[in-house]
Amino acid sequence: MPIRVRYVECDAMGFAHHSAYLPWLEMGRTELLRQVGVTYAQLEAAGVLLVVTQMELKYRRPARYDDVLSLTTRVTRATRVKIEHAYELRVSERGGGQPHALTAEDIALMQDTGEDLLFTGASTIACIGRDGRPAPLPEWLAGRA
């Protein structure tokens, strides 16, 4: 999923502030659900609520204002009550006053060295019912996770 770093997400140095990453990860989880044909609104309407119980964030290098990033979100494990996700955030196009995209040679070099990798993360989300108590994931969701 592409993300362009907006000015509002940056600190005074022009780097994406660490607080910007959590909404990006939520966007990744939401879009992953959408790709398998389920929206979060449909889950809520069915009385299925998903809450974050754990987050692990590893910042390797900063994203900068106007960079275009590529977020990969994947399910790494699912049980009857929780889903674990892994995230990778890479820079795919320079921004911040550098109007040109990375060349194929730049991208190949970064992939070889891992320099395009900005961030990795992991999260655990758990299912609860409307009463706030733990609940099993619906079978139709557990089978897709």
Predicted confidence (pLDDT) per residue in 61-74, tens digit: 999 999 999 999 99
Q: What percent of the chain has pLDDT over 70?
A: 84
Task: Give the mean pLDDT of 114-126.
Answer: 90
Residue 123 in this model has a pLDDT that exceeds 60: yes
Contact between 71 and 89 (Cβ < 8 Å): yes
Q: Which two tokens stand for residue 129?
A: 């019912």
Residue 19 in this model has a pLDDT that exceeds 60: yes
> Each residue of 73-118: pLDDT tens digit?
999 999 999 999 999 999 988 875 454 455 566 566 555 555 689 9
Contact between 68 and 4 (Cβ < 8 Å): yes
CA dist., res. 28 & res. 12, Å (int):
26
Q: Which two tokens stand for residue 80?
A: 């009857």
- pTM of the predicted structure, to 2 decimals: 0.82
